[in-house]
Amino acid sequence: MKKRYWLVTLIFLLSGCSSKAEVAEAYRYWNYGFTAPPYFQIKTEYLQASMPDGHIMALMAGTSVGGGRPDNRSGYELAPRFPVTMDQHRYTELPDSMVVSWFSYAEKQFYAANIHFRPDIKKQMMTPYISNCWDDKRMVYHNEIVIGLAPGGYVRVWGTGGCGDKEILVGKFKGWKMVESITGTKPEHLKESTEDYHQRFADILAKPIPYEKWK
């Protein structure tokens, strides 16, 4: 009887260890994506991450984001919902900082900004929480970095996980204007797409750009 008891206990412990290992695996990687306010399309130009070991890692960018017209026309919110171009590569340690460069079609202006990940924020992102997205109340991590980019050089960054519930605000940042992007792209290189955007959103651009919404 004792042997059977110990066998059952051993199986339970091993299954528990396996379950914990599966949960712990989740925070060992992170990926990222971009978002922008409704109506105000941007083009990501460059993204790099500075890692804790001093390594500088260039990440995928170079895609247009945002510029949609919400069905409810509720405003110009910059939020982590529905990020696009989430890089499917899985990176290990969270970065200490990032540098991002983008083009604001509405202003015909390039920006760059520094993004910083405080130690307490990184710790919070690597702490598991119970997601409300599934019936089994599974444990997930905030291992998806969503970078929100807006006109005026305004940046918001969130850590999300699961289905995007219970996001963490990594921080609000303010970029600076650039004559060209970090990669050397100039406004005239984006002339055709800029003209197309201004034609499609002439009604929105006839009004002042609501910078105060993204401060």
Average pLDDT over residues 92-99: 92
Residues 76, 93 contacting (CB under 8 angstroms): no
Q: What average pLDDT is seen over the chain? A: 82
pLDDT, one tens digit per residue, over 16-65 is 433 443 444 446 678 888 999 999 999 999 999 999 989 998 888 888 88
Helix ranges restricted to H, 55-187:
119-125
Q: Residue 136 pLDDT > 80, yes or no?
A: no
Predicted structure pTM score: 0.83
pLDDT tens digit string along 59-94? 888 888 887 877 655 568 888 776 665 666 667 789
